[in-house]
Amino acid sequence: MPRLARRALPMLAASLAAPAFAQTYPDRTITLVVPFLAGGSTDIAARILAERMSAKLGPQARIVVENRAGAGGSVGSEWVRHRPADGYTLLLASASALGTNPAALPQQTPYDPVADFTQIAVIGGGPIVLVVPAQSPFRSAQELLEAVKARPGHYSWATSGAGGIGHLTGEAIKVAYGGLRAEHVPYRGGSAVMEALAKGEVDYSLEVLASTAPHIRDGLSRGLAVSSLRRHPLFPDIPSLDEVGLSGFEITTWNLLVAPRGLPEPLAAQLSAAANAVLAEPAAAERMAAAGVDPAAPSTPASSRDFLLAEVAKFKGIVEKAGLRLGRG
């Protein structure tokens, strides 16, 4: 999980006290858009938020989840961007929708990830996992990376899409390890990646924890390292990339609650406080973690914006260092 500034809980409680004009909000149904198909980690997190935030916002509040999938989250994000900034349309964005897509696929991303939205709260995230097939001869990340280094262009690696979080994580590893060369094979989604890996169609993959966890548990794939600075509690035996020689390496996927640009500050504060209150509930936090989304530390609209600015800058830096020219004529 990215390191976030921890805010005092009293400040969160105080932000619930919105000015008088916001006290009537919400008086109709709020739509929480998920820019992916139902069933994934972002969708599950959104449904937990919708259920629990409704109770936090008042007895008349009702939040419904709407899936608008396509283009790595860009389709749903673009749709939300054009909705009124009245607090009745929200987006649970991902690292691909507001981070990697704008950085790696600027011509295919029609919005500014920061300026075109109002940031509300960081919801959570998790590491990317470096995985190999169960039958792979590589037993450690060092063995794999040294083999790739020794035979440039010989090995292949898979991700759930060009320009996505797994792709940029893999490119960052290649740069950090001295300029590795391997063939990137993009698939349509994490399940397709893990199936290809299990069949031995590719040599390794970088994929989010939610997709890799079932395959690692079932022995279909072997996790070699995680992209967070520390080991993940679900797989304490898998070291971090920082441990295996890539000092300070940290890239994680994340979910960020946003609204269209121009959401009034009192509504943003009210929604942020409600979201943080949900994340503080042990039962809700456990359900989200089981879906592959580790709940974030408390955040505010301002700290959420700072977080997004830093992530976008990081992904743009990876694209530049790797020399990627995806979707550019």
CATH label of the domain that carries residue 170 = 3.40.190.10
| φ, ψ at 234 (rounded to 5°) | -70, -30
Taking 90 as the threshold, does the pLDDT of residue 326 lie above it?
no
Taking 50 as the threshold, does the pLDDT of residue 13 lie above it?
no
pLDDT at 189: 81
Task: Specify if 1 maps to a domain.
Answer: no
Task: Specify if 185 maps to a domain.
Answer: yes
Taking only the tens place, the pLDDT of each residue in 199-216 is 999 999 999 998 899 999
Residue-averaged pLDDT of the chain:
91
33 and 118 within one domain:
yes
83 and 57 within one domain:
yes
Taking 90 as the threshold, does the pLDDT of residue 99 lie above it?
yes
pLDDT at 10: 38
Q: Is 160 exposed, middle or buried (0-12, 13-18, 19+ CB in 10 A)?
A: buried
Task: Specify if 175 maps to a domain.
Answer: yes
137 and 84 within one domain:
no
Give the rounded percent of residues in the chain with a pLDDT score beyond 70.
92
pLDDT at 328: 52
Q: What is the mean pLDDT of residues 267-276?
A: 98
Domain region containing 167: 127-226
Show the beta-strand stretches assigned E in the chain. Answer: 30-34, 63-67, 89-94, 117-133, 156-159, 183-186, 204-208, 221-226, 252-260, 294-295
Task: Specify if 231 maps to a domain.
Answer: no
119 and 258 within one domain:
yes
Counting the structural domains of the chain, the total is: 2
pLDDT at 22: 57
Taking 50 as the threshold, does the pLDDT of residue 4 lie above it?
no
Residues in CB range of 204: below 8 A, 6 or more apart: 130, 131, 132, 136, 138, 144, 155, 157, 158, 197, 224
Taking 80 as the threshold, does the pLDDT of residue 88 lie above it?
yes
Taking 70 as the threshold, does the pLDDT of residue 5 lie above it?
no
pLDDT at 11: 43
**Sign of the Cα pseudo-torsion (259, 31, 111, 103, in order):** positive
